[in-house]
Amino acid sequence: MAENFTTRHIGFVMADLRRIALLGVHLESNAFAPVTTERDFRELCYLEGEAMLAEARRPAPAMPKEIPGFLKAMAESAAAWAPVPILITAAEPSGPIDHTFLVRLLDDMRRRLAAAKPLHAVYICNHGGMTSTGAPDPDGMLYRMVREAVGPDVPVVATVDLHANISDVMVDSVDVLISYRTNPHVDQEARGAEAARTLVELMNGVKARSAFIRLPLAPASVNLLTAAGPYADLINEGQRRMTPDILNVSVVGGFVFSDSPKNGIAVIVTARNKIEPARRLALDLAKRGWEERGRFVKQLTPLSQAVEIALAVGREAARPAVIFSDAGDNPGGGGRGNTTELLAALHAARASGVILGVFIDPALAAEAHATGLGARFSAVFNRDPRGDFDKRFTAEARVAALSDGKCVGRRGIFAGRSIDLGRTAALDLGGVTVAVGSLRKQCADPVQFEHLGLDIAMARVVVVKSRGHFRAGFDQFFRPEQVYEVDTAGLTSPVLSRIPFKHLPRPVFPLDADAVWQPPAWA
């Protein structure tokens, strides 16, 4: 496999190879979550130089899927090329990046790019939803640094999450910006491959011309699913309108919890060689998005109703099982994975057949391991509360299972990727069994329960600390009509009126019903 990453060099001397630099930063910043530090990145993914290629060769790599997808597509192309791995790092969604670390990181990347010259192209593998403790647009800083390092004539392509917040600097600094098209994100590898094909075109002489429009429309993430709904319709319309003139259409939903001046659904259309087709299509998509802005609002299931549903499903075996999203506490959006509101309500109501997870509480997981399998003890969730939402909750528990938390995802966004939850335990509270983990990660894959021996097919109610990615992991058990997004408090509450925003470009819909959009001057 190592040879595959540097193929297409037989019959060429090294000087003939097109050298493509690979680098990137992945962080989705929730402005209201704790600061993301260097340690957070190094704990999840921090790979320099050749370690990037070694990780990509592993059967279950712990790195963004776009990198293996890019490498595989380039290896299968007709290009005579060589990868130049610079640095890739990623952290779980959390708060703004520590700016001191960001500056050091970008300086390191800049030095590595300079030392790697000559370079013929650059691939930036990026999330795009990052904020910083010291600057408004750290993703833009990354893109500008790359452009300044390699010069104006070297093709640069970037991929971003569809929850990216797009700035003019980002669009202006790269030749093509490619967004995911699926939510849950099951097309990361495909977008990496698309970046490879796009770079080959650019290296062969195609000139990219991009049109960019940002709307004053910043919906919560629950309104940005792509199986159906207004966002799906926009993405599908963009793909339907692809022609030989159009190189890429990206409709980027944004991440409202970043509380950033660059928040808002963004349309980026890139054409081959001439700008007019890009502008026409971008304007059409933006107009449709704005005209249908009222569709980007969703009603959640009240907590009391969710409890009633759980009780009814527990009593009546003929009713189909259900899955609840603890929407206010999504670790995949910066939530801490430790709010007890829904857990306490289900336990107090004596709901049965419930499994819930992954609840992040390293101290409780450690206590369960120390107490031992089968032991009974008084489990204190959030023994030392630190935030506004991590309320203390106590229940008598039996240690039903223990694990080191290491597993490999089998479905959805984690399929084929290494997962590490740290020390984990299944605690049976009597009717409700809780998977307790030590390392924060949203519950988007059945294996996060199954590695503890919990049988999802036998559960009557499954509660996941996840906003939407669980849909791609748990769809083998639950049809869409069996899914409920529960209105719970937390750092990712979809009820945006509860969030103390400071930097959104107001007025913005749906927070401001009187928000107005003006098409760009070129329109």
Domain segments of the chain as ranges: 1-206, 207-298+496-523, 303-493
Q: Which two tokens stand for residue 341?
A: 């509101």
57 Cβ contact list (under 8 Å, min separation 6):
1, 2, 5
SS percent in the chain: helix, strand, coil, step 5: 35, 25, 45
In three-state secondary structure terms, 274 is coil
Position 475 scores a pLDDT of 97
User: For the ranges 154-158, 387-391, 517-521, which has the lowest average pLDDT?
Assistant: 387-391
Q: What is the pLDDT of residue 39?
A: 98
- Helix 188-203 × helix 66-76 angle, to 10°: 40
Q: Give the per-residue pLDDT at 494.
A: 96
The model's pTM is: 0.94
Whole-number percent of the chain with pLDDT over 70:
97
Residue 433 has pLDDT above 90, yes or no: yes
Return the pLDDT at 5: 53
**Over residues 248-277, mean pLDDT:** 98
Sign for the CA dihedral angle at 360, 363, 367, 370 comes to positive
Residue 386: per-residue pLDDT: 84
pLDDT reading at 3 higher than 90? no
Answer whether residue 13 shows pLDDT above 80.
Answer: no
- In CATH, 1-206 is 3.40.50.2300: yes
Residue 478 banded pLDDT, cuts 50, 70, 90: very high
∠249-253-255 over CA atoms, to 5°? Answer: 145
For 182-197, write each residue's pLDDT tens digit: 999 999 999 999 999 9
d(CA 275, CA 84): 31
* CB contact at 8 A, 177 and 270: yes
Q: At what angle do helices 99-116 and 138-150 cross, to 10 degrees?
A: 20
Per-residue pLDDT band for 388 (boundaries 50, 70, 90) equals confident
Whether 126 contacts 139, CB under 8 Å: yes
CA pair distance 183, 102, nearest whole angstrom: 28
Q: What is the pLDDT of residue 12?
A: 41
Q: What is the pLDDT of residues 407-426, one digit of tens each?
A: 999 999 999 999 999 999 99
Does the pLDDT of residue 15 top 70, yes or no? Answer: no
38-43: average pLDDT: 98
Residue range 61-90, pLDDT digits in tens: 999 999 999 999 999 998 999 999 999 999
CA 496, CA 475: separation in Å to the nearest integer? 28
Has residue 330 got a pLDDT over 70?
Answer: yes
Q: What is the distance of C-alpha 322 from the center of its chain?
A: 24
pLDDT reading at 7 higher than 80: no
What's the pLDDT score for residue 14?
Answer: 52
Query: What residues pair up with 46 in beta bridges, in sequence order?
Result: 89
